Chain A
Amino acid sequence: MANASHSGGPDPEAEARNRSRSLADRIAEAKRDTLVSEASANFRQREMTGMGRAFRFAAEFVAAILVGAGIGYGIDLLLGTRPWAMIVLLLLGFAAGVLNVMRAAAELNADASVGTASEGALPDDDDD
């Protein structure tokens, strides 16, 4: 009689416990899953191609020079100081353009390091 309970007993018991454990695992996994979508944003940095960067830098640089020149032109028109304000502001615009490019580069690098932090920065460095 004791023998019978031994051969029949542990099977359903162990099965029930296994099922419960796998259920616990699955619940934990499902809870984690909702966080995974947050990581989807990371794919963006990887898509920054070399050409896109080049275009961005060029636009930042040219825009600053154009704005500097435009402001200088306006001041010259208002004050009749042609061409001095334009020259000064063109130089300032050049400086602003360099600043813009530096900031853009820092931003892109920061983005890239965030995006590839788990894999190291190497693959992204090859990109440029």
Chain B
Amino acid sequence: MAGEAQNEAVVDEGAVTHDGATDAHATTDTHALTEASGGHEVVGFPPFDASTFGSQLLWLAITFGALYVIMARVALRRIGEILEVRQDRIESDLAEADRMRQRTDQAIEAYEKELAEARQKAHGIAEQTRSDNSAAADARRAEVEAELAKQMGAAESRIQATKADALKNVDSIAAETAAALVSQIGGTVTDKQAQSAVQKVLEG
């Protein structure tokens, strides 16, 4: 802050020397102006100094005109393009993302449907298999039972035959034994007598 006043003084001097080099009139002008503005503010109020208007207007026209041309022809057009390209890109990307998402949803749906169908089918197959299995087992059991019954019948009849056979043998053995006993004792017995005797005992 302290340097401000000093610096302005320096600027002033610089201006004076520059002017001195180019235009003697301007030097005295500026000098008078500076002093006036130092003394009475109203007289030397720089924004109202009409002698500077010409150059200010000229330079303003040049710089503002150039700015307008640069903005309109180059800068704004470029930024506009950038924004447009980005907007298009964002929109297309979003649309693409949305499309992909919908396809994903469809895929999930299809998958779920298929899964449900497959489950249904598996259930049916299991049911079918179970019923098939039980029928076959029943049939075989019946077969086996029948076989068993047949075999048991055969075995029974064989036992019956064997028993009868054995009993018959027992009769003859008993008759023979009786005859042998009688002959031992001293009598004579015919086979016929012995057998009828045995028969009598057996029945008796």
A and B touch in the complex (CB under 8 A): yes
**Cβ–Cβ contact A27 & B108, under 8 A:** no
Tell whether B193 is near chain A: CB-to-CB under 8 Å: no
Contact count band on B: 10 to 19
Indicate whether A9 sits within 8 Å of B104 (C-beta atoms), given known contacts A27-B94, A27-B97, A30-B90. Answer: no
Binary contact track A5-47/B, C-beta < 8 Å → 1, others 0: 1000100010011001001100100110010000000000000
Instruction: Report the minimal beta-carbon distance from B94 to chain A, rounded to whole angstroms.
Output: 6
Closest Cβ of chain B to A114, distance in Å, is 24
Instruction: Count residues of A near B (Cβ-Cβ below 8 Å).
Output: 13
**How far is it, in angstroms, between the C-alpha of A9 and the C-alpha of B90 when the chains are bound?**
36
Q: Which residues of chain A are near B122, meaning CB under 8 Å?
A: 2
- Chain B binding surface, main DSSP class: helix
Known: A9-B115, A27-B101, A34-B87. A20 touches B94 (CB 8 A): no
B97-111 CB contact bits vs A (8 Å, 1 = yes)?
Answer: 110010011001001
Q: A34: which B residues are within 8 A, CB to CB?
A: 87, 90
Question: Is the Cβ of B119 less than 8 Å from the Cβ of A5?
Answer: yes
Chain B residues 70 to 110 lying within 8 A of chain A, measured CB to CB, are 87, 90, 94, 97-98, 101, 104-105, 108
B residues with CB within 8 A of A: 87, 90, 94, 97-98, 101, 104-105, 108, 111-112, 115, 119, 122
Sample 16 A-B pairs with CB under 8 A, ordered by A number.
Answer: A2-B119, A2-B122, A5-B119, A13-B108, A16-B104, A17-B108, A20-B104, A20-B105, A20-B108, A24-B98, A27-B97, A27-B101, A30-B90, A30-B94, A31-B94, A34-B90
